[in-house]
Copies of this chain bind each other. A is one copy, B any other.
Amino acid sequence: MNIHIENILKDLEKDNFQAYLLTQFTNVEYISNYKPTSFAFCIIQENPIIYASGMDMELANRDSSIEVKEFESFDVMVGELKKEGIKNLAIEPTLPYSTYVRFRDDFTIDSKNYIDAQRMIKTPDEIEKITKATEIAQKSFLQLDIYNNGGSEKEVAFDLVRYMIENGAEKESFDTIVTSGANSSLPHAIPQAKSLEEPILIDWGAIFEGYCSDNTRTMVYTESQQEIWNIVAESHDKAIKAIKPGMKCCEVDKVARDIISDYGYGDKFIHSTGHSLGLDIHETPGFSLRDETIIKEGMVITVEPGIYLEGEFGVRLEDTVHITKRGNVIGDLPLNI
């Protein structure tokens, strides 16, 4: 039995639950190494089991480290759980309401963050994969020849994905953002079929063996753009320098936000300072206003302050930080490129 399951069994015992139901694909993958392509129900109990879709059975039997049965119906699954004497069922917080309804009449249910709590702390093997994903992504970025190919935002985004795949990525870790000019004030801008304007903001990442990377760079060209860039860079650098195990996540957000606020742009920093990543591009905890999670060694969290001037432009700078005794930036791509 793997360590993740052992830990969850301890959590369950402590809280007096007899089983834990997971359906998120990356949670099932984290537990069993089988990543569903259709629905799956992973039930962690003394004898952990996955109920998989018929179309996934070949894949599940090949990849899963725990027992797999073919899902027949909710009635059958609920019946088997009851036969094992399960009365108290913990569920993952993201479980869809319509699935919850299938269980609520037969079990005492509450949602628990056991799985997120474990996924927060990355193993050396996970760190290695995130590092490799970051290296692929950064190497690919440096292969871009932004102006000489006369490309549009969309074409540059496409080139970047192509390089990442050629360099060994499974795929991009999210829709690659290449935005420029006034559109760069949209934090999640969609690349357009228009020639690049200035500044140019690129937010991109690769997936390597299931694990994500995430970086942002903004290339500025005028004095006023450079002025904003300098503030964001100061916020980025000082926040990273401040990171230490034992602090609260919100305290890192405050370091980043206070710098931007001191320059008078507090209301233009319209998102949190960072998010964890791993099998998913967005995981918990995050460097945000209200996240009181204590920072621990082994966490991997982005630092990505930004200033967004609607109708003008936006600047964001992002690195991914592996926390040991301090915050270590993963990869070696300069901020100023």
A residues adjacent to B (C-beta < 8 A): 37-38, 53-59, 91-98, 100-101, 111, 154, 158, 162, 165, 170-171, 175, 185-188, 190, 270-271, 308, 310
Contacts and interface: CB of A to CB of B under 8 A. Distances in A.
A97 B100 contact: yes
Contact of A58 (B93, B162, B186): B186
A69 to B, nearest CB: 15
A268 to B, nearest CB: 11
9 contacts: A37-B188, A54-B271, A59-B186, A59-B188, A91-B97, A92-B97, A97-B111, A100-B100, A158-B165
Contacts of A310: 58
Given A55-B188, A94-B97, 8 more contacts: A38-B188, A54-B271, A55-B270, A57-B270, A58-B308, A93-B96, A94-B98, A96-B97
A53 B272 CA distance: 11
A55 B98 CA distance: 29
A64 B6 CA distance: 48
- Of the listed residues A91, A93, A171, A310, the one surrounded by the most CB atoms of chain B closer than 10 A to its CB is A171
Nearest to A175: B171
Given A37-B188, A55-B271, A94 B96 contact: yes
A171 B190 CA distance: 11
Nearest to A37: B188
* Chain A to chain B: the 8 pairs with minimum beta-carbon distance, closest first: A37-B188, A93-B98, A55-B271, A54-B270, A94-B96, A55-B187, A95-B97, A55-B270
Contact of A187 (B37, B96, B154): B37
A91 B186 CA distance: 29
